[in-house]
Each structure stands twice: as structure tokens, then as C-alpha cells.
Chain A
Amino acid sequence: MKAITWQGRHHVEVRSVETPDIVNPRDIVVEVTSTAICGSDLHLYDGFIPTMEKGDILGHEFMGRVVARGKEITHLQEGDRVVVPFNIACGKCHFCQRTLTSLCDNSNPNAAFVEKVYGQSGSGLFGYSHMMGGYPGGQAEYVRVPYADVGPLKVPDEMEDEQVLFLSDILPTGYMAAENCRIEPGDTVAVWGCGPVGQFAIRCALLLGAGHVIAIDRIPDRLQLAARDERVTALHSDKTDLDEALPELTGGRGPDSCIDAVGMEAHGTALGNLYDHVKTAAFMATDRPHVLRQAIRACRKGGTLSIPGVYGGVVDKLPLGAAFAKGLSFRMGQTHVHRYMPLLLDLIRDQEIDPRFIITHRASLDEAPELYETFRTKTDGCLKVVLHP
């Protein structure tokens, strides 16, 4: 079969690889009909995530048709359309049973490696390095999906792929980011990063009762898209002094909660950002916490910082003193996709949210290497790439 493989920094290739088969009794094999490139795939593309190996199949946002199933899988039939959560969860461990599926105890065969670095390991992920399990990803014609009795969500016939594809990751991620803010009616939520997750976080914050959302980015197209709703104020991060603008927009209180939908590869203009670039380039730190610093300073006293953006390692010069003095809460982590999928499917069906508004590019697998580059450089108005194998 054809698959998009990682070959090194800024180098992905379409290769012919072995087609997957059923291995365990709870597996299914899915023939992929739609898959997407995620912003977090760019962390792999940029070489920021360790334990990638040449030839690894990328992709963790995908859906398709069931073509084979293990003997324990009875609720799905060959031909069923399913959308698959990006995190792999056994459904039976302590964490899965509390719907904390991204913290599954059993799904990462390389948990020992993560334990050495982090103390404990979260779940395995599709197509996201060997420390996250080394599972072949979804930017391919076929994928083996473990624990199919608890993961994949059956899609109603009348809904098209692009309506439900983002249930695999970014829509639940945007939703959990907003939910983590514990929004009260009328709250102001500031969102750093208006990529796909940021866009969804903004919509979900409004759905959950926010009265005002402040959207921050440095790409005009993305700001424009965010500001289609009149309850959203868009701020260009390179042209605005956020230290002044955020208090001004909130009567001096600061946003009630702040969402960092950027993560470890933040860009910025401040001196601290230059310092981060130098440090990561010299391997003295791994992540650039520019957004976190701004959010800590901006956030209202007693407010919440919600972090859906991915961090991988060590950050430096984090103003924890300010966070402490202001009594901030931090809520973060990989999304518990399984928990949110049914609820969000209903919201899509009821037309409360239509996730298709973020798609800018549609292509075949063969065109993916080029589109990785377009997405990385954020040219051609690129916000979200959907691939149809």
C-alpha cells in the first residue's frame, strides 16, 4: 500500500509499504477514505520530537471503512464507516474507565522509555514517534486499529467524511481546551494561535458560554476567519502590544482564561523569544514557552490557563512566581478524544458546529510532501490539509 513516511527533518516521502493485518483479537483494519495533516505533525516534520525513525508512517487524524476485524469485534461489520481517535486506549485500565483515555496504562508498548523521561507514560498514539508506541499512522491507504471495541466511532451514512473527520483529534482538542477553562457565562477567553485547534477552541468557548473571545495570531487570514463571529476580537501578535491590549479589552481585569493553542514552537518578537530560539538551537532547552509567558502575565487573577498546544520537554524562564502570586490554575494534556466524540457528533448533526470551515486544501497522498511544506510555511492561505487516499 501507499503511505506517507517520515525520512528526516523537513523530508517526507510517499512510499510503498507493507499492508497491515489483524494482529490482536480486538483489532480492526481500516481502509482510509480521509486523513488530515495536523499542526502537531509539523513538530515531527521540524524534527522536534525524538525517537522518530526513517520510514515511520505519519498521521493520526483519519477515518475510513472497516475491511477486517479480530474475533472479539462484534459491534462493527466490514464496510462500516468509522472515525478513529488519535490516542489508542484499551478501555479497561484505571484511567480509561474514568474516560481519561489519553492516559491509558496499556496501549504504549514503549512505555518504559517515556517513564524514564516523564516518570509515567500516557497512551500510545498513531504515527507519533516510537516513544509514543511506534504505531504506524493514518496517512496511508490502510491502518491497523487496536482496541476497536472502544475506539472507533461509527459514522451515520448521511454524514460526509469532511463533516466528521476532525472528531479524530482537533475538534475534541478544541472542545477540551475550552472546557478546561471552566467558562462561566459572559467570560472573556483569550486564545493564542488561530490554527485549526485555536479556531475550534474559539467556537467551543462561545458554545460553552463565553461572552467575548480574543483571538491572537500573526497570520491575517487566520485572524479574519476567527473574527467572522462578532463576539471575537482579533489581535495581530506582531503588531499589537499584548501587555497593553489585553488589559484594555477587559477593563483592566485580564482575560478570565487563556488558551495556548500554539505549544512548543511559538514565534514572537520579544527578547525572551530570541533567547528561546538560541537555547533550543543549542539543545539547551527543547521548547519555546513564549506564549505561556504572555498568558501567565495577561490572565486574570484566579484564572485558568488551558494548554492544548503540545509541549515535549524542558522550558526555561517560566514566570512561575507570577502564576503563583495570581493563583492561576493550569490545565493541560493530550485530549481524551473518546470522551468527547459522541457529544461532538451530536453537535455536528444538530448543526451547532460545522467543522468544514477550516479546510483550505484537498489533495491525494501523492501531493502530501509538497503540502507539508506549504502548511509549515503557512503560505497559500494554508490552514488545514485533507488527504483522500
Chain B
Amino acid sequence: MPKTNPSDESSAHPTRSCPNVGRWERTLSVAAGAAALLGGLRRRGITGLLAGGVGIALLRRGISGHCNVYERLGIDTRRETREEAGVPEDQGIKVVETITINRPRDEVYGFWRDLRNLPRFMDHLSTVEIRTEEESRWVASGPGGRTLEWDARIINDQPGELIAWESLPGADLQSAGSVRFESAPGDRGTQLTLTLLYRPPLGRLGALGAKLLNRSPEHQLREDLRRLRQLLEAGEMATADISS
């Protein structure tokens, strides 16, 4: 049995107290931690104790800027790496959604390829402005009513089959995506698969919060694709409204 040297432990974890949490996420941690702690104190009992514990952990995470879980996973959300195109390695969240649309592949591809159509069914996009054949400027609404803007470039375009793009350096929302069009079996139209990689504007904790509030990107993209299907199949979007 090998001998354990007490000094080994500290040398094995040289970055134990080094910050690895980004600015936005720290602010969010402090706010959520304080809320949980106060809630816990008010409630008491076993759930109160648990909430209090979670609150203290979050507060510590926010104030110190260090997260043990991130450390184990080798994640660092601190870097403001907005100078890269696309999404920096290890910092993206990937979402994949798929839908079948009862229209020919070329038509579905053509509708998507005219990027100005995207805000018609993607709820969070305000506008997409075409700059050149490959480049476009995107404006979206972000968390807390913030406006996010970025330039994007199409990096792969195979008519009727695939469109892929990525954000350019300086983006408010670093992102990359692809949409694949395949013929659905048995004359069912087009099977569309959307893959989106993005760096969450409020960090991973923000992304988790969004999920808990049913505002997850999966849910939103699913709704977006459902609206796309309504537009392409029925020619209009379903609504129970009684005035426009």
C-alpha cells in the first residue's frame, strides 16, 4: 500500500481556490443564494435547512468565483472569449431538435436559406439582415429584456440538404448552428434537424434556471419549429386570438 503524503493533496489541487466562474454567473449565484438562504430561514424545518445549505453554497460560489463542480468537470466560464468565431471549446450548450414537415425538401430548404424568414417563426429573433451571400446581422431579445446582436457567416451550404453557420468575433451571443434537411420516409415530406451550439448569456447556472422556468432552449426551439411547420404547411400560424 503506497504511503500517503499529506502535502500531496494540496499539490494535486493547485487551483482549489482559483476563480473559474464568469462575471454574470457570479452575480446570479449571489442573488439565487441569498434568496434560498432567506427562504430557508423563513421556512425552517428540514426543507428550510436544505434550502439554507444550498443558499450558503451558492453565496460562497458567487463571492469566491470558484465552483468545485466546474473544477471537477474542467469547466471555466470566466474567460470573456468573444474574440473567437463560433463558440469557444467547452463553453457551449448544444441543443438538437427535429420535426417532420409535410412539404418538399427544396421548399423547406429555400425558406430557411432566406434567413430573413427566421424571425417569422423564431420567437426570440427580432430581425436578420442580409449583408452578403454569406454574412448576415442578427438581433435577438435576451434574458431580462436585453438586446443581443451579432454577425454570422454561413460556413456550409448544400442546397436542399444542409445549412451551417457561426457567429463572428464580437458577438453578444456566441453561437453556431446547422440545419439538415432529409426526405422523410413514406412520402411524409421533409425531416428537419436543427443543431444549435451557443454560449449561454448568463452562464450555465442561467441555463439551468431557464430550464426550471420552462424557458429552456429545447422547449423554445421545439416551439419555433412547430411554428415553422404551421407556416409552411397551413400558410399561417395557429392562434386562438379573436383580434389581430
User: Using a CB–CB distance below 8 Å, which chain A residues touch chain B?
Assistant: 18-26, 72, 90-94, 97, 105-109, 111-112, 124, 133-136, 144, 146-147
Contact = CB atoms under 8 A, between A and B. Distances in A.
A146 B238 CA distance: 8
Given A106-B229, A112-B223, A92 B242 contact: no
B239 A109 contact: yes
A24 B189 contact: no
Nearest to B244: A23
Contact of B240 (A26, A93, A109): A109
26 contacts: A18-B242, A19-B242, A20-B242, A20-B243, A21-B243, A23-B242, A25-B235, A26-B234, A26-B236, A72-B235, A90-B238, A93-B229, A94-B102, A94-B188, A105-B102, A105-B229, A105-B233, A106-B233, A106-B234, A107-B234, A109-B237, A111-B226, A112-B219, A124-B238, A144-B242, A146-B238
Contacts of A97: 102
A25 B236 contact: yes
Contacts of A93: 102, 229, 233-234
Contacts of B189: 94
Interface string B213-243: 0000001001100100110011111111111
B239 A24 contact: yes
Given A106-B229, A112-B219, A112-B222, A90 B234 contact: yes
A135 B240 contact: yes
Contacts of A136: 240, 242
A55 to B, nearest CB: 13
B240 A124 contact: yes
Contacts of A133: 238, 240
Interface of B: 100, 102, 188-189, 219, 222-223, 226, 229-230, 233-244
A25 B230 CA distance: 13
A26 B237 CA distance: 11
Contact of B100 (A20, A72, A94, A147): A94
Contact of A92 (B219, B235, B237, B239): B235
Given A94-B102, A133-B240, A135-B240, 7 more contacts: A21-B243, A24-B237, A93-B229, A105-B233, A106-B229, A133-B238, A147-B234
Nearest to B222: A112
Contacts of B236: 24-26
A90 B240 contact: no
Contacts of A134: 240
Nearest to A21: B243
A20 B188 CA distance: 35
A24 B243 CA distance: 9
B100 A106 contact: no
Contacts of A135: 240
Given A94-B102, A105-B229, A105-B233, A23 B219 contact: no
Contacts of A90: 230, 233-234, 238
A136 B236 CA distance: 19
B210 to A, nearest CB: 16
A108 B234 CA distance: 12
A168 to B, nearest CB: 18
Nearest to B242: A20
B55 to A, nearest CB: 30
A23 B239 CA distance: 8
B238 A107 contact: yes
Nearest to A20: B242
Contacts of A107: 234, 238
Contact of B238 (A20, A91, A106, A112): A106
Nearest to A105: B229
Nearest to A111: B226
A117 to B, nearest CB: 14
B230 A106 contact: yes
B240 A92 contact: no
A15 to B, nearest CB: 14
Contacts of B243: 18, 20-21, 23
Nearest to A136: B242
Which of A97, A109, A112 gathers most chain B CB within 10 Å?
A109
Instruction: Return the 9 tightest CB-CB contacts between A and B, nearest first.
Output: A20-B242, A90-B234, A134-B240, A24-B236, A92-B233, A109-B238, A135-B240, A106-B230, A21-B243
